[in-house]
Chains A and B, each alone.
Chain A
């Protein structure tokens, strides 16, 4: 992250989509793209791997459900079996609703927490946008100036060709 970066600022969803594909084809390293909303198709254009968050969701949901079901059984049938309305100690059907709720709670909350962790979002974190406009109407493409092959003026031209309204160069320190 210590290297220099080049930021292309766009105004249009289509432009950012096409420039991304083009830049990737050219072999430049896209450090990140900043957008005001989730642009569809951009993940493909940028070539991101699918997230593993669904696995977190599934596993924690499973853990929540099994541990709750186990607890309910243990508490009702083993730890202190109490005769409730003549129902059997193991009233499995009656244990299902809470099991389900706890599963959803575990899965949901843990997924969000995992998301915050992997995306390093936490309260008080300083926002490090390239330009403030990315939360309004600007799209920013950030390229890393990786090696000698990176020729800033070529890239600048490329970006401008795809409708960049502004191209700036920066040192990477101010970037996430």
Chain B
């Protein structure tokens, strides 16, 4: 009779473990799967603001995506194209202007603490002019999308073929902080290639090879 109880306990346990695993199947990652990785970045850069609200094209900053294998993280000099002038959020500037009019003084230049990090990195002084006394210090972003060393992904081939960035990177324009949307598994790549060959990309007929050496060499 004892063994009978044991059997019941064990099988119940097994059943619930299976149930638990089945329920979590969607969220449990096999090792190496970094889906939903959303690290904190050294600068709280908002894609939602830039790509969403301001509707800046992706390729404005990630300009090497159509010319090189890597999309690249823009050099700080690209930020400075706008942020030489824009130093704080619109709201803050408006508030300061109102305050200044009220207090009848010249509005102060506001510098958002996040942008200050870029200026620091470039070694700029308070007037955002290069200061030889200050060292330039590159910004170490945390890489979100990362493929193993044995996989070669070529951005230019994809951008050239007309694949829009969101296909792989998800609704970046809605993300405050960058997040890895797909699981970046080989199956994800391969199935998209299959689909592209079958259905084309943006109405255009393409041939997306699924030969191994397309990505592995």
Which residues on A are within 8 Å of B, measured CB to CB?
80, 124-126
Secondary structure call for the A interface: loop
Chain B interface size, under 10 / 10 to 19 / 20 to 34 / 35 or more: under 10
List residues of chain A with CB within 8 A of the CB of B210: 80
List the count of A-B residue pairs having beta carbons below 8 Å apart. Answer: 8
List residues of chain B with CB within 8 A of the CB of A124: 3-4, 6-7
**A150→B7 CA distance, assembly (Å):** 40
**A126→B7 CA distance, assembly (Å):** 13
Given A80-B190, A124-B3, A125-B3, 5 further pairs, Cβ under 8 A: A80-B210, A124-B4, A124-B6, A124-B7, A126-B3
Q: List 8 A-B contacts (CB under 8 A).
A: A80-B190, A80-B210, A124-B3, A124-B4, A124-B6, A124-B7, A125-B3, A126-B3
Shortest Cβ distance from B85 into chain A, in angstroms? 54
**A9→B211 CA distance, assembly (Å):** 74
Residue of A nearest to B2 (CB): A124
Residue of A nearest to B4 (CB): A124
Shortest Cβ distance from B108 into chain A, in angstroms? 64
**A126→B3 CA distance, assembly (Å):** 9
Cβ contacts B1-42/A at 8 Å (1 or 0 each): 001101100000000000000000000000000000000000
List residues of chain B with CB within 8 A of the CB of A126: 3
Residue of A nearest to B1 (CB): A126
List residues of chain A with CB within 8 A of the CB of B4: 124
